[in-house]
Amino acid sequence: MCVMFVLMALGLVVRLFYLQIQNNEHFSTRSLENRIKIEPLVPARGLIFSRNGKLIAGNSTSLSLVAIPEKIDDMKASLARLGEKLGLDEAQLEQSLISSKGKSFQKHVLKANLTEKEAAIFAANRFQFPGVSVIPNSSRYYPLGEEMAHVLGYVGRIQPEELKDLDETNYRGTRLIGKTGIEGSLEPLLHGTSGYQRVEVNAEGRVIRIVERRASIPGENIQLTIDSDLQREAFKALSGKVGAIVAIDPNNGEILVAMSNPSFDPNLFVNGITQKQYDALIYSKDRGLFNRFLRGQYPPGSIIKPIVALGALEAGIKRHDVNVFCPGFFRLTENGRPYRCWAKEGHGNVNMTASIARSCDVYYYSLAKKFGIQGLHDSLTLFGLGEKTGVDLPGEKAGLVPSADWKREKLGRNWYKGETLISAIGQGFMLATPMQLAYATSILASKGDAKIPHLFRASKHNFLNEINLRQSDGVAVVLKNQNNWDLVREAMVQVVHGKAGTARSSKLANGIIFAGKTGTAQVSSVDRELELQPDEIPVHLRDHSLFVGYAPAENPAIAIAVVIENGGSGSRVAAPIAKRVVDKFFAGNQKF
Amino acid sequence: MSILNRRVDLPLAGGLAVLCVLGLVVLFSASGESTGIFISQIIRIGIGIFVMLSVAQLSPNALLRIGPILYVSGILLLVTVAFWGDGQGARRWIDLGYIRFQPSEILKLAVPIVIAAIVSNRSLPPSSRGLLLCALVIFVPTILIYLQPDLGTAILVASSGLIIIFLGGISWRLIRYSSFLLCCLAPVVWYFIRDYQKQRILTLFAPERDPLGAGYHIIQSKIAIGSGGIYGKGWLNGTQSHLEFLPERATDFIFAVYCEEFGFVGVLVLFMAYALVVIRSIVILYDAQDTFSRLLGGAIIFTFVSYVFVNIGMVVGLLPVVGVPLPLVSYGGTSMVTILGGFGILMSIQTHKKFYADV
């Protein structure tokens, strides 16, 4: 018996020696891992302000219903009871549980943005729901809703496929990420730097004390170039219409207005949009999610005439005071097909100024015949058409300025002379976004001193120091003959202020001189072939209505582009909208 | 010398006192510095000492007579518990208003007394009829306790009886046969034992199989012990216990707390205290004058050592997790009283022998 006792004791001592002395390091580490947990400290997202100091994207604290799956015995029953008590959709709860990332011992969001009533009902019944709790978390809200939707974009929950491209340490604990718009393009600036704290926890995971703490650095507050009052005016002006408005300060490229209508409420996306709401947006006729000022590509129509005229003047195609006779049509050859002017009865004798003021097509057909497609292409690309402007928003479209090379490469066909003619009046293959049209107009306004359009005005550091505002130069347009700028500008002034100007009913208030150009872009060829009255044409086949302009003509402070889909004539629809916004600009600006 | 003094074996009492003090020290830490638990344990030690001293006053002959009465009442209480007892999941406790106790504890003393009486009453080695009677005496309480269910205590009660038969001297042939039979029965037993018991045995071999479930106790216990190192983390500084990672830290797993806070050196000190008690008990046994005393004393020491071995073996991950407390250290009333009662018997054997010698 004694031998047995000694052996037993020896066995235990050997085992303890093995655990405590031989493997002490291993177990010490595990003991440390047991009790020390690292918790991320999520930085507050930077706020976004408009140029006039209005908060346009803020943070709010919301309550979320969360569950720790590991601590719930019967998930299905628990969700069913939650659904019943709080009046929530059980399937929706289950869906968000499945889609949320994380391990079974971590908190999964069942429902974000609880109402106060839901939170109160839960609090009263929480004993019935072990493993489920309500936690506060930071959320995003957009006070101006639809008005800023396409500029700001929105934040939403991080999706698993987005995690791959993120700095995982910096995003541990972050719930929302910028998806589109400024929220998307300035994500690195807005997010800030994540901090952490090392905490001692007990077996239940409750924090006993903080061992070490490195505070997070909040994201930078951002000021945009957008004027929220002007943006609201644009929003109102577009109400009931489908289209876009972009207004730029030609002196520095700051975008004052960027509005696309119809719009959507970005707040819907922050805490998870429901399938029903999403479908409603996606399948609506006019697609509110579609950013028309950035991605809408339209035939620019007569809008490009001042640029074509300028190119032709520079190339010496035709002197500005040489007349072209417009009988209402133009033929390339003696018995060729007639290319019609929009004015059936013709404009008579037209010089360069009149060709812009009255928007004579025949003048441009005759220019184009000598100028050729390459000449047109080169003049138009100088003004940024056919390529992205480089505005600081994701997903911009490049539009299209056709050329013979382009057609051969893309379509595998030869270029026809007739195509050169219609290109000169902005029809055919040519496409441009409202952003490009505004940029081109701002280059015209600043006499070639191109400033790339941008929305990001300043971050917190230079909010108060307006000297070092961000601006970047585009490729400047340098003319051999500086006088040509003035000739074209004078022609554009005649569009609004001339007796026969196409936009003569859209003069600005207070006598401010407005230089502009109307455009009526054909969507289909029905109207000219069948000679129908405008209201006999189905809405979706009606012409797009366009206008570009800048003011004051002598010393421009604003350049604007307006596109109204299927709006009809540019002078009747787009020009008055531009006038309304520009009037508002000067009304709010004491300098003028 | 007062009567009281003459019935106390001082070396044994000294060893027991060291163990009780070490127990109180570590219990204070393991219970999260709860004075309530500390005082309650002191009260239990007090009751235990009272029982020990009382038993020590009785002569071994008196014990021999009391034995059967104790045994029968123990069986009755077990039956009672089966119908009216309290307990979490398993019915083990009897509630007497102020005190609650486990009747199975009574049988830990009663079974060896009765078996020792049966074996010593006949010629040695025991006859087959005697063995059969012993088997019955052991079998009835063992089954009742097993059904509670409390496998650990059932095994300890059975072994406390069986060890006496073994000490009484049975033929090696019988031992060989029964060992062989046990081996054959093992798969059958595996089939009959409950799922949680299977889990515990499986967990022993691979605790990482289910780290948050069945293996959790053992993993956390090994972390506690291993992280203690040579000198330990210091009294009241054990993170595993104070942050509640270690389950059952005041009761079955108190040894892990001890190891974490006092290290390997502390373990050697504790083992020396246990060794002192065991060696002194064996000395008493060798001096004992009659077979009954020797058999009974042998069974008590054996039981005590098995407790220590099974508990520590379990805590260090050598044996399956069975609900056996660490004698004199774990928090718990009835086992404390039973164990001190057992040492009372040893003191009775020692002091009454001396009493005869003096005459």
> How do residues A37-69 score in pLDDT, each as one tens digit?
777 888 889 999 999 889 999 998 878 888 877
Interface residue B327 vs chain A (CB under 8 A) = no
User: Is A472 labeled as catalytic in the residue annotation?
Assistant: no
Q: How far apart are CA A153 and CA A265, in angstroms?
A: 10
Interface residue A24 vs chain B (CB under 8 A) = yes
Whole-structure pTM value: 0.66
Contact check, Cβ <8 Å, A1/B267: no
Interface residue A8 vs chain B (CB under 8 A) = yes
Contact check, Cβ <8 Å, A27/B245: no
**pLDDT for A402:** 94
**pLDDT for A213:** 86
Q: How far apart are CA A157 and CA A573, in angstroms?
A: 40
**pLDDT for A50:** 93
Contact check, Cβ <8 Å, A12/B225: no
Q: Tell me the shortest Cα–Cα distance from A296 to chain B, in angstroms.
A: 57
Return the residue matching tokens 């549980």. A97
Contact check, Cβ <8 Å, A12/B282: no
For residue A208, with 0-12 CB atoms within 10 Å meaning exposed, 13-18 middle and 19 or more buried, which class applies? middle
Structure tokens at B210: 């289910």
Structure tokens at B93: 């406790």
Radius of gyration of chain B (CA): 21
For residue B192, with 0-12 CB atoms within 10 Å meaning exposed, 13-18 middle and 19 or more buried, which class applies? exposed
Angle at A175 between CA A170 and CA A181, to 5 degrees: 90
Contact check, Cβ <8 Å, B282/A35: no
Q: Are A402 and A424 in contact (CB under 8 A)?
A: no
**A vs B: CB pairs below 8 A:** 92
> pLDDT tens digits for A203-259?
666 677 788 888 888 888 999 999 999 999 999 999 999 999 999 999 999 999 999
Residues with Cβ within 8 Å of A214's Cβ and at least 6 positions away in sequence, in order, are: A41, A195, A196, A197
Return the residue matching tokens 């941008």. A454
Interface residue B230 vs chain A (CB under 8 A) = yes
**pLDDT for B4:** 53
Structure tokens at B101: 């106790």
Q: Residue A448: which region, alpha, beta or left (left: phi > 0; alpha: psi -120 to 50)?
A: left
Contact check, Cβ <8 Å, A28/B227: yes
**pLDDT for B212:** 54
The torsion of the CA quartet A13, A15, A19, A20, rounded to 10 degrees, works out to 0
- H-helix or E-strand containing A66? strand A55-67
Interface residue A337 vs chain B (CB under 8 A) = no
For residue A471, with 0-12 CB atoms within 10 Å meaning exposed, 13-18 middle and 19 or more buried, which class applies? middle
Q: What value does the mean pLDDT take over residues B188-216?
A: 66
> How many CB atoms lie under 10 A from the CB of residue A540?
10
Helix/strand/coil for A562 = strand
**pLDDT for A526:** 47
Interface residue B309 vs chain A (CB under 8 A) = yes
DSSP state of A508: P
Nearest to B264 among A21, A31, A35 (CB): A21
Average per-residue pLDDT in chain A? Answer: 86
Structure tokens at A104: 């079974």
Q: What value does the mean pLDDT take over residues B247-271?
A: 91
**pLDDT for B220:** 86
Nearest to A15 among B230, B275, B318 (CB): B318
Strands A155-157 and A176-178: antiparallel
Q: Which of A185, A302, A366, A379 is catalytic?
A: A302
Q: How far apart are CA A83 and CA A43, in angstroms?
A: 32
Helix/strand/coil for A486 = helix
Q: How far apart are CA B333 and CA B50, in angstroms?
A: 13
Contact check, Cβ <8 Å, B225/A16: yes
**pLDDT for A137:** 77
Position A105 pLDDT exceeds 70: no
- Which candidate, A235, A230, A237, places its Cα nearest to that of A260? A235
Which has the minimum average pLDDT: A394-398, A466-470, A515-519, B172-176? Answer: A466-470
Q: What value does the mean pLDDT take over residues A410-419?
A: 90
Q: Tell me the shortest Cα–Cα distance from B267 to chain A, in angstroms.
A: 8
What is the DSSP secondary-structure string of A385-396?
Answer: TTS----SSTT-
> pLDDT tens digits for A518-537?
999 887 654 454 555 656 66
Position A591 pLDDT exceeds 60: no
Q: How far apart are CA A425 and CA A305, in angstroms?
A: 6
- H-helix or E-strand containing A348? strand A348-350
What is the DSSP secondary-structure string of A513-553?
Answer: --EEEEEEE-SSSHHHHHT--GGGS-GGGSPEEEEEEEESS
Contact check, Cβ <8 Å, A27/B225: yes
DSSP state of A470: -
* A198, β-bridge pairs: A38, A212
Q: Is the dihedral of CA A140, A143, A147, A151 positive or negative?
A: negative
Q: How many helices (H) does chain B have, and how many strands (E)?
A: 14, 2
Position A91 pLDDT exceeds 60: yes
Nearest to A12 among B228, B263, B312 (CB): B312
For residue B341, give the amino acid letter.
G
Chain A residues whose beta carbon lies within 8 Å of the beta carbon of residue B305: 5, 8
Return the residue matching tokens 């044996």. B319
Structure tokens at A337: 């097909």
**pLDDT for B179:** 78
Q: Tell me the shortest Cα–Cα distance from B216 to chain A, in angstroms.
A: 11
Which has the minimum average pLDDT: A12-26, A277-291, A324-338, A435-449? Answer: A277-291
**pLDDT for A443:** 96
pLDDT over 90, % of chain A = 47
Helix/strand/coil for A49 = strand
Q: Tell me the shortest Cα–Cα distance from B191 to chain A, in angstroms.
A: 28
Structure tokens at A497: 């202020």
Nearest to B226 among A8, A23, A200 (CB): A23
Chain B residues whose beta carbon lies within 8 Å of the beta carbon of residue A24: 226-230
C-alpha distances out from residue A450 to A249, A291, A440, B13, B22, Å = 11, 24, 9, 101, 87
Q: How far apart are CA B9 and CA B282, in angstroms?
A: 13
Chain B residues whose beta carbon lies within 8 Å of the beta carbon of residue A34: 220, 223, 239-240, 243, 245
Terminal-to-terminal C-alpha distance of chain B: 16
Nearest to A5 among B223, B226, B305 (CB): B305
DSSP state of A266: T
pLDDT top residue among A222 and B178: A222
The fold for domain A228-587 equals Beta-lactamase (3.40.710)
Helix-strand-coil percent breakdown of chain B, rounded to 5? 75, 0, 25
Domain count, chain B: 1
Q: Is the dihedral of CA A303, A309, A314, A315 positive or negative?
A: positive
Give the distance from CA A456 to its chain's centroid.
Answer: 12
Q: How many residues comprise chain A? A: 592
Q: Are B77 and B94 in contact (CB under 8 A)?
A: yes
Helix/strand/coil for A101 = coil
**pLDDT for A96:** 77
**pLDDT for A208:** 73
Which has the minimum average pLDDT: A232-236, B7-11, B167-171? Answer: B167-171
Largest CA distance in chain B: 64
Q: Which range of residues forms the domain containing residue B304?
A: 3-358
Interface residue B244 vs chain A (CB under 8 A) = yes
Portions of chain A given CATH number 3.40.710.10: 228-587
Interface residue A37 vs chain B (CB under 8 A) = no
Q: Are B343 and B12 in contact (CB under 8 A)?
A: yes
Reported as half-sphere exposure (CB side, CA atoms, 13 A), residue A383 has a value of 32
Q: How far apart are CA A141 and CA A159, in angstroms?
A: 20
Position B199 pLDDT exceeds 80: no
Q: How far apart are CA A212 and CA A208, in angstroms?
A: 13
Q: How far apart are CA B86 and CA B54, in angstroms?
A: 29
Position A190 pLDDT exceeds 60: yes
What is the DSSP secondary-structure string of A393-461?
Answer: STT----B---HHHHHHHH--PPPHHHHHHHHTT-TT-BB-HHHHHHHHHHHHTTT--B--BSEEEEGG
Portions of chain A given CATH number 3.30.1390: 64-140
Q: Kindly report the CATH class assigned to A64-140.
A: alpha beta
Nearest CA in chain A to B242: A202
> pLDDT tens digits for B82-99?
776 555 545 566 665 555
* A200, β-bridge pairs: A36, A209
Nearest to A20 among B220, B229, B243 (CB): B229
- H-helix or E-strand containing B293? helix B291-315
Residue spans of beta strands (DSSP E) within A233-328: 243-249, 254-261, 324-326
- H-helix or E-strand containing B356? helix B333-358
B252 pLDDT band, cuts 50/70/90, is confident
